[in-house]
């Protein structure tokens, strides 16, 4: 492998090495009877259960259900959050009108309202989607709002000096300049939406990764429980790292010659 390749993926190599080291220490600690496998299982047992659940289709079924709920909740939050953030960032009156409701959803422990969601939407997917939506919305809105309001004023003045009107400044300056902040908000909201899905499934669902976690956890089948937990973690890391890479490409403000 070339030095350039190693330098480019050095962070990934160190992360993989750390993960493997922790797994080896975990396996050794259980084999040496330093920790009780009933409560933490062991990597070899978890791997066996991964293969078993993949073969039976259980993991794919639970993952598919959680993925659909996540994508609907996150997608709705993305569309509404970006739209409201743009409007609030460009029109101060809209910001004043929306702020109390948005910050309520950000500061309030939304899971405490779970019984209200169940009473109105019932157990299952609708409630899970609603909670994921509300978990994700504030971060998307806040970052979009900040991106629109903190556009480089030198760029605005330059555009104005070339005859750009308010509409041109909005479409050609404010929106492109805020994209990096918008993507950062999406990246932050992924974890919140995923948390909403898992927590809602833990409280009341009949399928999904969250349901699987609580089902096996109650039976102290730790290895089976960790399969779903690792699936949640891997999915969240994959999405956030993908958006982080996309965000880096959008950060044109720091690129020379742009």
CA dihedral 65, 67, 69, 71 (to 10 degrees): -150
CA separation, residue 130 to residues 30, 31, 116, 194, 214 (Å) = 41, 44, 11, 12, 20
pLDDT in tens, the chain (258 residues): 556 655 666 666 667 778 788 878 877 887 778 877 777 888 888 888 989 999 998 899 999 999 999 999 999 999 999 999 888 888 888 888 888 888 787 777 777 788 888 888 877 888 899 999 989 998 899 888 888 887 767 676 676 766 666 676 776 777 777 788 888 888 889 988 999 999 888 887 788 899 999 988 888 888 899 999 999 998 988 888 888 777 777 654 444 344
Give pLDDT, residue 3.
Answer: 63
For residue 53, give the nearest of 238, 225, 233 by alpha carbon.
225
Give pLDDT, residue 193.
Answer: 92
Q: How does pLDDT run across 138-195, given as a tens digit for each residue? A: 889 988 888 888 776 767 667 676 666 667 677 677 777 778 888 888 888 998 899 9
Opening angle at CA 125, ends 121 and 126, nearest 5: 30
H runs (alpha helix) in 91-208: 92-107, 114-121, 125-149, 153-161, 166-169, 175-204
Give pLDDT, residue 66.
Answer: 92
CA distance 70 to 108: 21
Chain centroid, CA 160 distance in Å: 38
Asked if 69 and 202 touch (Cβ cutoff 8 Å), the reply is: no
Give pLDDT, residue 256.
Answer: 38
Give pLDDT, residue 250.
Answer: 63
Opening angle at CA 59, ends 54 and 63, nearest 5: 135
CA separation, residue 144 to residues 36, 178, 186 (Å) = 47, 7, 9
**Mean pLDDT across the chain:** 81
- Is the Cα dihedral 65, 69, 70, 75 positive or negative? positive
Give pLDDT, residue 258.
Answer: 46
């Amino acid at each position: 492998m070339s030095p350039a390749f190693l330098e480019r993926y050095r962070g990934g190599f160190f992360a993989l090495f750390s993960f493997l080291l922790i797994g080896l220490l975990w396996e050794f600690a259980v084999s040496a009877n330093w920790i009780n496998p009933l409560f933490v299982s062991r990597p070899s047992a978890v791997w066996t259960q991964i293969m078993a659940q993949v073969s039976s289709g259980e993991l794919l079924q639970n993952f598919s259900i959680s993925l659909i709920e996540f994508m609907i909740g996150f997608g709705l939050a993305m569309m509404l959050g970006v739209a409201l953030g743009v409007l609030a960032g460009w029109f101060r009156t809209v910001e004043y009108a929306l702020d109390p409701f948005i910050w309520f959803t950000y500061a309030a422990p939304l899971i405490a309202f779970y019984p209200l969601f169940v009473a109105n939407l019932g157990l299952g997917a609708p409630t899970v989607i609603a909670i994921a939506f509300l978990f994700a919305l504030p971060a998307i809105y806040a970052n979009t709002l900040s991106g629109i309001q903190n556009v480089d004023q030198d760029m605005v003045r330059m555009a104005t000096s070339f005859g750009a009107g308010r509409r041109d400044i909005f479409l050609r300056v404010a929106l492109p300049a805020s994209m990096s902040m918008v993507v950062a908000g999406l990246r932050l909201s992924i974890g919140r939406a995923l948390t909403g899905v898992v927590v809602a499934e833990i409280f009341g669902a009949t399928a999904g990764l969250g349901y699987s976690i609580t089902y096996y956890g109650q039976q102290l089948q730790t290895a089976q429980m960790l399969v779903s937990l690792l699936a949640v973690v891997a999915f969240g890391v994959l999405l956030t790292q993908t958006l982080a890479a996309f965000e880096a490409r959008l950060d044109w403000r720091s690129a020379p010659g742009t």
